[in-house]
Structure 1
Amino acid sequence: MANNKALGTGGRKSDKDLKIRVKTAKGRTVASTKWLQRQLNDPYVARARAEGYRSRAAFKIKEIDEKHKFFRKGMRVVDLGAAPGGWSQVAAAAVGSTVEKPLVVGIDYLDMDPIPGVILLKKDFTEEDAPAMLIEAMGGQGADVVMSDMAWPTTGHRATDHLRIVHLIEIAADFAIQVLRPGGSFVAKVFQGGTEHELLHMLKRHFNTTFHVKPPSSRKDSAEAYLVAKGFKGRTEGEDGQADE
């Protein structure tokens, strides 16, 4: 009989053997079973629980900021598509937002539990009155960072999904141009297919630097990436912030 040493394992199970395996169950689809197994074996999910973040997505904005440094103490931040709140948690800690002086405003049509130092609005950002509600929540003051993790539920049709996410980025970028202070930053989720040339061209006119980044916590098999625009140049008088100005 071959021993463990001869097999080169030394009696230690491989990482593959150590993975939690989830069996299919009545009422659970194969896709949901695979998703559950991936979640249970995801180190970022475990870290999020251990560090008190509401989702693994918190590490995405945290890693992007660690490298590109757009958060600073005292800044005002708007979080579009905030649920379940991981990005707002990271932003609140980074800028020193408190219950007494909230510097972060988040918006989403989904319910969210309160976050200390964050003003949360239950509202669909695509609705016409949403920008005004955000500006009112900020006390009429400008923002230093506008970040968006918004995404529509996918249809499975790549071209349609791409157009839908580009639409979200466009309205988020338009809002950012309306409310950002000079020097501010804009961060938004994009998907495979990149950012439309017209939108990217518009952002390059309004920001000193624009680039795409895929943080380590973004799954390798995911088509998502993040668009970062830094150094907002400010708006000129009469500018409406539209991409076709």
Structure 2
Amino acid sequence: MNYKKNKKSKKWLKNNFKDFYIQKTKKNISKYRSRSWFKLAEIEKIDKIFKKDMKIIDLGSSPGGWSSFASLKIGNKGKIIAFDILPMNYIKNVDFYQGNVCNSIFLNKIIKKINKIKVHMIMSDISPNFSGIKEIDIPNIIYLNKLALNLCYSQLKYNGTFLVKTFQNKGLNQFYNKINSIFKIVKIRKPNASRSQSSEIYIVAKGYQN
């Protein structure tokens, strides 16, 4: 038996079976969809980013944690345009498009389809497939972050909001400064629902000025 591997597996099982947010999600999977529901709920409690009748773009939406929470907040007249490479079950007020947003053909096709719709918020929960190799993972993180930010230039309303998941890395300051140059208020959040050992953080930017 590989003792180190077995010890690591036991630690993973212990952490996940006792994890409050995992247990909460399992009890009502149809409502919460994923742990990310609770992260967004915590951000909303502090930053008050949602309003009734909003139009929102949700990048990396599957299985639907953020979209399901946002749908409750924006009401029946609101609209969410969601994208993910993985499938996602139906959510009220959500138009879901399955495809890879890193594929310029797919992304341009969807942007063209929704081009007349300027949104109040763009939110991105996209993560790369981590290899554990910094030289590979960090450029992938930066690329996905920039892709989400670039969408603001064409699709976000003046004074709109940008919410993006990122990770602590050597390119974070530059990315933060870029956001700070085009938004009035920029904050970094680390929700309690985010695992303490994870380097993930969330940037909340309000008041798009570009």
Match of 1:118 among 63, 76, 94: 94
Is the Cα–Cα contact under 8 Å of residues 105 and 137 in structure 1 kept in the other structure? no
Look up the SS of the partner of 1:182 in the other structure. strand
For residues 117-151 of structure 1, what are the alpha-carbon distances to aligned partners after superposition, in whole Å with 9 as ceiling and x for unaligned?
A: 21111010111134434445647210111111101
Structure ID, larger Rg:
1
Structure with higher strand content: 2
Structure 1 residue 186: deviation in Å? Answer: 0.7
Per the alignment, do residues 146 and 33 of structure 1 end up closer, same or farther by CA in structure 2, a change over 3 Å counting? farther
Look up the SS of the partner of 2:169 in the other structure. coil
Query: What are the equivalent positions in structure 2 for 1:1-245 lying under 5 Å apart?
Result: 34-51=11-28, 52-96=31-75, 98=76, 103-135=79-111, 138=114, 140-193=116-169, 195-234=171-210
Query: Which structure is higher in RCO with an 8 Å CA cutoff and minimum separation 6?
Result: 2
RMSD: 2.3
Aligned equivalents of 1:72 and 1:162: distance in 2?
34
- Unaligned runs of 5+ residues in structure 2 are none
Look up the SS of the partner of 1:203 in the other structure. helix
TM-score, L = length of structure 1: 0.76
Structure 1 residue 39: deviation in Å? Answer: 2.4
| Letter of the 1:193 counterpart | N
Structure 1 residue 55: deviation in Å? Answer: 0.6
Number of equivalenced pairs: 205
For residues 46-105 of structure 1, what are the alpha-carbon distances to aligned partners after superposition, in whole Å with 9 as ceiling and x for unaligned?
A: 222345211111111111111011110011111101111101001111111x4xx56001
| Letter of the 2:121 counterpart | V
Over the matched positions of the two proteins, sequence identity in percent amounts to 30
Per the alignment, do residues 195 and 62 of structure 1 end up closer, same or farther by CA in structure 2, a change over 3 Å counting? farther
Look up the SS of the partner of 1:129 in the other structure. helix
Structure with higher helix content: 2
| Letter of the 1:54 counterpart | R
